[in-house]
Each structure stands twice: as structure tokens, then as C-alpha cells.
Amino acid sequence: MEFKFTQENLNRIEQETKKYPVRKPAVMAALYIAQEQNGYISYEVMKEVATVLGITEEEVLGVVTFYTMYHQKPMGKYHIQVCTNVSCMLRGGYEIWNQIKEKLGLDHMAVSADQKFSLEEVECMGSCGTAPMIAINEDYYENLSKEKVEEILNGLSATLSKEEGV
């Protein structure tokens, strides 16, 4: 599918390039902006980013495939990230991971059929002192218990059905 940045997003990218003596470093921000607009990074997105910044498609591809936060397929509306690294593990990170896996019927990097949820097992998120933790899209949820996780997930489902009801 063809991809073109909106004018507003082009302006945002231009703003980003001003931080640097050359245009290339803005590739990281441009990819975030593209992901926001398109949902994921497709080949067409990479082509457009390359054109806008005047760099090669290979350079963009190299960046996309190096960093875990750029997604090359559409993820769920709620992308749930569960930390299972040591400090979280010591406080039940794997229990939370298994609980969410079961509840959503999803595994690592899987997306639900209705595209509402996706799941990712992530490395340390810098919340070890408030472990266990999960992140949903950009927001951290810390000091979790199984009950709290249940509540959070039910809350998301409730929001979804409300939206559909409208």
C-alpha cells in the first residue's frame, strides 16, 4: 500500500532534522512518526522515509531491523509488554506473563485476530524497583499483582466494548 506522510508529519520531521548537522539522524524520529501514522513500518514506509530524508532505502531498512520498537507488522491496538527480566522475575514477572498469555490466548509477538491486542515479552524496562511491571503502548503499570493485572485487562476490554457500542 502506498504511503505518504501527512503535511503535519512532514513538518514534524523537518523540525527533528534541525537538531542535527545532517538529515540522517532524524530517521529514528521519522520512523516513530511513520509508525504512529501507519501503524507499522512497511516497505513503502521505508521508501518514503528514505526519500524525505535523502538517504538510501537500505540505510532505513538497517535501522528498522536493528531496533525492537519499530514493528514490521501491524500490532494490536493495545500492545502489551511484559518484563520478565531478573528483578521482575524475582517478584513474579513470569506469573504475570503466563497470566496474560493465557487470558489473551497470545504468545510472544502475536496479535489477536481482531487486532485489538498484541503481546510482547520485553527486557528490563527500568522499573525494577516497582516490579513486576507491564507497559501498554507508551504507559507503564507498576507494582503489579495478579489481581491488578486482571483489573487492567478487564478495563481495556470494557473500553473496547464501549467504543464498539457507540
Partner 1 sequence: MEKILLPDIKNLHLIDVYVSNGGYNAAKKAFTQTPDDIIDQVKKSGLRGRGGAAFLCGLKWSFMPKTTDKPKYLCINGDESEPGSFKDRQIFEFNPHQMIEGAIITCYAIGAKTAYVYIRGEYHKWIKLLQKAIDDAYANGFVGEKMKETFGTNFFCDIFIHKGAGAYICGEESSLMNSLEGKRGYPRVKPPFPAQNGLWGCPTTINNVETIANVPKIIEKGWEWFSNIGHPKHPGTLLFGVSGHVNKPGVYELPTGTLLTDIIYKYAGGVPNNKKVLCVIPGGTSMPPIRGDKLEGVRMDAESLKEVGSAIGTGGVIVMDEDTDLVKVLARIAHFYHHESCGQCTPCREGTGWLEKILKRIIAGKGSVSDLDLLITVANQIEGNTICALGEAAAWPVKFMVERFRDYFEQRVSKEISLPVANKVHSMRQTAVPLADVKN
Residues that bind partner 1 (CB under 8 A): 19-22, 24-29, 31-32, 55, 59, 62-63, 66-70, 84-87, 89-96, 122-132, 135, 138-146, 148, 151-152
Note whether 127 binds ligand FES by CB under 6 A.
yes
> How many whole angstroms separate alpha carbon 92 and alpha carbon 107?
18
Note whether 131 binds ligand FES by CB under 6 A.
yes
Q: Indicate the DSSP class of residue 127.
A: -
Q: Which residues contact 5 (CB under 8 A, 6 or more apart)?
A: 13, 33, 34, 37, 48, 52
Note whether 81 binds ligand FES by CB under 6 A.
no
> How many whole angstroms separate alpha carbon 63 and alpha carbon 70?
9
Whichever of 11 and 143 has its CB closer to ligand FES, that residue is: 143
Interacting residues with ligand FES (CB under 6 A):
83, 85-88, 124-128, 131, 133
